[in-house]
Amino acid sequence: MTHDTAPIPEPPQTGGAADRAEAEEFLRQFHTEQPTRTVALARRLEQVRAAIDRTGTYRRTTAELAFGARVAWRNSSRCIGRLYWNSLRVLDRRDATTPREIHRHLCEHLRQATNGGRIRPVISVFAPDSPERAGPRVWNEQLVRYAGHRRADGTVLGDPRNADLTDAVRRLGWQVREPGRFDVLPLVVDAPDDKPQLFELPRDLVLEVPITHPDCPRIAELGLRWHAVPAIATMRLRVGGIDYPLAPFNGWYMGTEIGARNLVDEDRYAMLPAVAACLGLDTGNEATLWRDRALVELNVAVLHSFRAAGVRVSDHHTESRRFLTHLAREEREGRRVPADWSWIVPPLSSGITPVFHRYYDEAEQRPALCPAAGDRP
């Protein structure tokens, strides 16, 4: 039995020079959309050209970095939740150099993003790749991920998507006394001029929600839970011709991400048969639509559980309408909105959501959050 596992990043390598044309394009966009700047565009272009000629790269101002990160979210073709792109909290962590510093800032990211359950969008931007040295990375696909423990018979206890990472952190010394289905993996920080280092996430920073159903108590007996903050850590932020390989970013969960993918996919937790059994459904005949009925009730359970716990979550119908609001707003501003249909359309009740019944512009735009290799819907 094989599983599609999350890729572990390649070791850091020295980055190339900043792309001069991208840098100039970004600065013109920044000064167009943010016209009240203390430094004139011509002067800033002159500064950046001189820095690239001298060093192969340049340092972006804090305001430029914040604008670039927000526009990268605005341009993210796989994200349905971009309506609030301009409210993204941007944490400038470019001066963090040691693994311990980086870990401390990653913990602070989780603290600010969790916000007592009132999840808020946050991005932390660490040092970029440059001609002299690579920027830092983490091996974890998200800041919070559950281990996938391989058994002797080839099956996996926990999340099969993270089986390779679980093997890797074990080789680095991580141990679990009694492996379970929802063991939070440590972070592996891979900084230049240092070996990869393991750091446990403080338990009080990882908010988790136990999954219960408002009408079916047996679902609670399955012992399911999920973490509150989906902080993606392996996407590369590219702004103005410079790559930032460590820029963890989060919004909040749409319920279907958990209830129709993470807990359901055959190569993840594959919980549909167990949920169907809790509901007393006839699973011997596909014509009973037991999979569909179990899927709906599991999603009801996810939304109910998060809301009962006071943790922000959205349903796919609401988020679909918000995305169309985002489209209309951007069109009024004269901006194109790239969107990948296979990611924008929810995996549950797709045909009765408004995002299903139209085509989208799939053009790549900069600034951008670039998906990790091997990522998929």
Chain centroid to CA 261: how far? 14
* First vs last C-alpha separation in the chain: 21
- Residues known to be catalytic: 79, 82, 252, 257
State phi, psi for 358 to the nearest 5 degrees.
-165, 165
Residue 155 CB: number of other CB atoms within 10 A?
A: 11
Residue 42 CB: number of other CB atoms within 10 A?
A: 9
Chain centroid to CA 322: how far? 19
The structure tokens 């019944």 sit at: 357
> Rounded distance, CA 47 to CA 209, Å?
49
Let me know if 315 is exposed, middle or buried by CB neighbors in 10 A (0-12, 13-18, 19+): middle
pLDDT given for residue 364 in this prediction: 86
Which pair of tokens denotes residue 37?
């700047």
What residue type is 364 in one-letter code? E
pLDDT given for residue 4 in this prediction: 63
Residue 203 CB: number of other CB atoms within 10 A?
A: 8
Residue 301 CB: number of other CB atoms within 10 A?
A: 26
Which pair of tokens denotes residue 202?
């403080």
pLDDT given for residue 225 in this prediction: 98
- How confident is the prediction along the chain (377 residues), in pLDDT tens digits per residue? 444 678 777 666 666 789 999 999 999 999 999 888 778 999 999 999 999 999 999 999 999 999 999 999 999 999 999 999 999 999 999 999 999 999 999 999 999 999 999 999 999 999 999 999 999 999 999 999 999 999 999 999 999 999 999 999 999 999 999 999 999 999 999 999 899 999 999 999 999 999 999 999 999 999 999 999 999 999 999 999 999 999 999 999 999 999 999 999 999 999 999 999 999 999 999 999 999 999 999 999 999 999 999 999 999 999 999 999 999 999 999 999 999 999 999 999 999 999 999 999 888 899 999 986 545 43
SS3 per-residue string spanning 104-165: HHHHHHHHHHHHHHCCCCEEEEECCCCCCCCCCEECCCECCCECEEECCCCCEEECHHHHHH
Identify the sign of the CA torsion 173, 175, 180, 184.
negative
pLDDT given for residue 35 in this prediction: 83
Residue 111 CB: number of other CB atoms within 10 A?
A: 15
pLDDT given for residue 6 in this prediction: 80
Q: Collect all residues with Cβ–Cβ distance below 8 Å to 9 and sequence separation of at least 6.
A: 137, 138, 139, 190, 234, 245, 372
The structure tokens 């800032």 sit at: 105
Residue 222 CB: number of other CB atoms within 10 A?
A: 20
In 176-250, DSSP assigns E strands to 187-190, 197-199, 208-210, 225-227, 231-232, 236-239, 242-244, 249-250
pLDDT given for residue 193 in this prediction: 86
Residue 34 CB: number of other CB atoms within 10 A?
A: 12
Residue 152 CB: number of other CB atoms within 10 A?
A: 5
